[in-house]
Structure 1
Amino acid sequence: MIEGEPTDDDRVFKALADPTRRKLLDRLHERNGRTLGELCEAMEMTRQSVTQHLGLLEDANLISTVRRGREKLHFINPVPLHDVYERWVRKFEMDRLALLHDLKGRLEGKKS
């Protein structure tokens, strides 16, 4: 990795920082494999703007595309989200869950 160059996590966080891109991911989660036209339907912006947002999502590896004839289908890729979850969320959940488990045991009169 070159110093100063964005990491994969940096790209994911940048992509997720924008509400428009999160909305596009939500739409793909509802139904994967949408065309640009389908994704533009619920967006109040130009096709060019949606295309730019999709480009940032693709750069972050949060979506992938497949050509089907003249159409380009967009698919969500959950792997980078899972990687972020594992690195940034899960480790904080473990302590909290252990505390809740201990509290439950104490409230129920059980030794942990």
Structure 2
Amino acid sequence: MILASAGLPEDVQLLPTVLILAVLFAVTVALRALPFAALRFFRESELVTWLGLVMPAGVMAILMVYALTGSDGETGGYAALGLGVGFTVALHLWKRSASLSILLGTLFYVVLVNWVF
């Protein structure tokens, strides 16, 4: 039986489910592509240029505030926070890439919090 192999409950029909998922997929792709399509209208905007300069530092500041307020005060929490900040700063000074620093710094901190401390 197709429904059993699809993993759906017996009272769920396959075709409507696939159609709903296809519509959800199309809407998601369209919403994710929309900012890139609209970017050509904002290339000369001073606001977009300014945001491109300040957003990386803003994202790092937000992550820092989140980490500071979310720390439970235990030694491991502060140690992970210190190591995460140190790693992120060192990586940024070495590679000068805000995206790489944010991504790998966050990943490093998450690994420390969840599996080391």
Higher relative contact order (CA 8 A, sep 6+): 1
Which structure has more strand as a fraction of its residues? 1
Same fold (TM over 0.5): no
Which structure has more helix as a fraction of its residues? 2
TM-score (norm 1): 0.23
The structure that has the greater radius of gyration is 2
